[in-house]
Chains A and B, each alone.
Chain A
Amino acid sequence: MDTVSLLMQGFSTALTLSNLLWALFGCALGTAVGVLPGIGPATTVAMLLPITAKVDITASMIFFAGIYYGAMYGGSTTSILLNTPGETASMVTAMEGNKMAKNGRAGAALATAAIGSFVAGSIATVVVTLFAPVVADYAVKLGPPEYFLLMVLAFTTVSAVLGKSTVRGLTALFIGLAVGLIGMDQISGQPRYTGGKAEFLDGIEIVLVAVGLFAVAEVLHAVLFEGKIVETQNTLTRVHMSARDWRRSVPAWLRGAAIGSPFGCIPAGGTEIPTFLSYATEKKLAKGEDQAEFGTTGAIEGVAGPEAANNATVTTALIPLLTLGIPTSNTTAILLGAFQNYGIQPGPQLFATSAALVWALIASLYIGNVMLLVLNLPMVGLWVKLLKIPKPQLYAGILIFATVGAYGMRQSTFDLFLLYVIGAIGVVMRRFDFPTAPVVVGMILGPLAEAQLRNAMSIGEGKWTVFVDRPVSIFLILVIAAVLVLPRLMKRRAAAQA
């Protein structure tokens, strides 16, 4: 069947009343957690993973996907209105968005962020529609050696390239791999690192690690260190863009989408590079008084471009997730965990074996983007009210939901104690600037990578040369070497010039 009719079938599944409600609920919840400080899409999806035991897979994946990209819309609202930028993804938006808001242009900044997210999200969804099946067709031909190397590429970029320190990134990655080792080895059935405890045989639940590292650690960090931070909020103005704003935003959205989309497609992860590239591009292309606004009163292109790039990257990141089974961020790693809860392994076969699910999910992306535009433009004032919730009450409330996620997964109080320990480790990691994404990605992808490695070695009959036998794997090794070496060379050159 061709793509169009598959997509139409997807729409007919996604447009049923119950699935529409799941999408709407997901988008609204996603926007809310995006706006709220202290809780993000990864935490939210992780806390809700227990619902996979009862809710049908199509509904829950539509729901989770809604949370995933809804949070991107909500996150920009917070980064524009609050003077304390949150996650790195919205950091670039905050640079110009904050300045615009301080100069009474919060409404225009919010509008260009929301419409830009919609435009870029929709373009990127078209990219997913067109390219995901092609990638899946191609990926079927890859063998274990290539898969293993693709996973190594994901590990490398997530840990060694994106962070501020290679050593701390790698430490986090190996901690994640270590956690992933706990439990029964899936090839030999050998228990590893269980210490004879039955609780450890099934491994450590992803919910625990994600909720502990993000939610509990966030609350503990807040109580320990954030008591004296004074937060200021910019006033919301009418959400409206002038003709000049439109003229400046439209090209920036399109450029942002063009920059962001390819970055999501490669299993490398991170929205920092595309958003920053988009920012730099806009700053360079702006002329005259537009350029003078950069860094002073706030230039609208500096919000429009990076926001579009961010959403495009986040959307096309679903391509490596669905077609290769490779997640490159906290949230996509947890989405992979959700698939696994249903006994489904995303990968090239997914498009053949679960076509109805995949296409319903893709169709729901189109629908969700429209919903989010409506939720975020006329109703933005409503979401901003969420910022009025006092922090103590908000953080204490998060702990209730953390309990649902951690306990609901397998009804074990042991898990609740473990949750606290992981939370404490999370505080230390945050304090000493260890990234968390490598832990989560390492923990989820580690066992899969190990299986591919051992399969590859069996194919190669014990010879490591199996990794250089085929052109694709040689190419992947070169790519891995390049992502390791190039950024360092560029930094050194930049340092030499400075």
Chain B
Amino acid sequence: MTSPQPNLPPELRPDHPAPAHPSRKTLLWETLVSGAVIAVGAAMAYGAKDIPSEAGYGGVGANFLPWMVAIALMVCGALLLREARTGGYRNMEEAEGDERPDWMGFVWVSAGLLLNAALIEHIGFILSCALTYVLAVQGLKRAFGKPHDTWLTDTIAGVVLAAPVFWLFTKFLAINLPGLTASGWI
């Protein structure tokens, strides 16, 4: 950063121009994000069409806010798109960390989360969450460049973490979480 007061929170600095040279890839992403905002707005408008406008004598019915949100999102999306096409989003916080995402690690963590959703009602909270933990910790260790030949300790850690959480929440706080057996302990 070349700002004379690097510690000042950005929102309190005098108007900050767009970053000098956002990469082409960043600009492409920004365009995509802007497009997604417009698309959400359009989808909201499409949905708003079917909401009855019956408004009583207030004149403002169930479809008023949906239309307002739809239009506002499309306008915001268009403004974002203009920023993206004219040098990039304004007043951006300097992106933390790496410019290049670690997709492999992302796949590991995603697999952990999605398998959890798919399996939790079949193999129970403890095993399912232990699996999530193992996959996530493996992905994170790879991304952080740490030794990841730790399957056994990770598995033990996953079970040792998930089991007390399960017992704490089901036994003491009476929250329903799925078990593998009806015993209430696993």
Contacts and interface: CB of A to CB of B under 8 A. Distances in A.
A192 B66 contact: yes
Interface string B147-161: 000000000011001
B150 to A, nearest CB: 10
B1 interface: no
Given A225-B97, A229-B97, A419-B113, A396 B136 contact: yes
Given A413-B120, A431-B95, A432-B89, A399 B112 contact: yes
A351 interface: no
Interface in B83-113: 83, 89-93, 95-98, 101-103, 105-106, 108-110, 112-113
Interface in A287-309: 295
Interface in A344-394: 390-393
A217 B140 CA distance: 14
Nearest to A487: B11
A399 B77 CA distance: 32
Given A174-B72, A224-B102, A416 B117 contact: yes
A17 interface: no
Contacts of B125: 403, 407
B109 A220 contact: yes
B58 A272 contact: no
A407 B114 CA distance: 13
Task: Report which residue of B65, B114, B128 has the largest number of chain A beta carbons within 10 angstroms of its beta carbon.
Answer: B65
Contacts of A391: 140, 144
A228 B97 contact: yes
A50 B144 CA distance: 33
Contacts of B77: 171
Given A190-B51, A494-B14, A224 B136 contact: no
Interface in A419-439: 419-420, 423, 428, 431-433
Contact of A192 (B51, B93, B110, B141): B51
Nearest to A392: B140
Contacts of B69: 174, 177-178, 181
Given A54-B175, A403-B125, A397 B161 contact: yes
Given A178-B40, A223-B143, A399 B136 contact: yes
B76 interface: yes
B20 interface: no
Interface in A45-62: 50-51, 53-55
A455 B60 CA distance: 9
B57 A400 contact: no
Contacts of B118: 413
Contacts of A407: 120, 125, 177-178
A51 B176 CA distance: 10
Nearest to A455: B58
B116 A403 contact: yes
Contacts of B158: 396
Contacts of B60: 453-454, 457, 462
Contacts of A395: 136, 140
A423 B114 CA distance: 12
B50 to A, nearest CB: 9
Contact of B89 (A165, A446, A453): A165
Contacts of B59: 457, 461-463
Given A95-B7, A420-B117, A462 B132 contact: no
B169 A404 contact: yes
A417 to B, nearest CB: 5
Contacts of A205: none
A483 to B, nearest CB: 14
A164 B10 contact: yes
B21 interface: no
A226 B98 contact: yes
A164 B93 contact: yes
A229 B110 CA distance: 21
B40 A227 contact: no
Contacts of B137: 392-393, 396
Contacts of A495: 14-15
Interface in B57-84: 57-62, 64-66, 69, 72-73, 76-77, 79-80, 83
In the A-B complex, the 9 residue pairs with the closest CB atoms: A462-B59, A416-B117, A392-B140, A458-B58, A457-B58, A225-B97, A396-B136, A396-B137, A227-B143
Interface of A: 50-51, 53-55, 88, 91-92, 95, 162-165, 167-168, 170-171, 174-175, 177-178, 181, 185, 187-188, 190, 192-193, 216, 219-220, 222-229, 272, 276, 295, 390-393, 395-397, 399-401, 403-404, 407-408, 411, 413, 416-417, 419-420, 423, 428, 431-433, 446, 450, 453-455, 457-458, 460-463, 491-492, 494-495, 498
Interface of B: 7, 9-12, 14-16, 29-30, 33, 37, 40, 44, 47, 51-52, 54, 56-62, 64-66, 69, 72-73, 76-77, 79-80, 83, 89-93, 95-98, 101-103, 105-106, 108-110, 112-114, 116-118, 120-121, 125, 128-129, 132-134, 136-137, 139-141, 143-146, 157-158, 161-162, 165, 169, 173-178
Given A174-B69, A408-B176, 9 more contacts: A54-B174, A178-B40, A219-B140, A390-B146, A395-B136, A453-B65, A454-B58, A491-B15, A495-B14
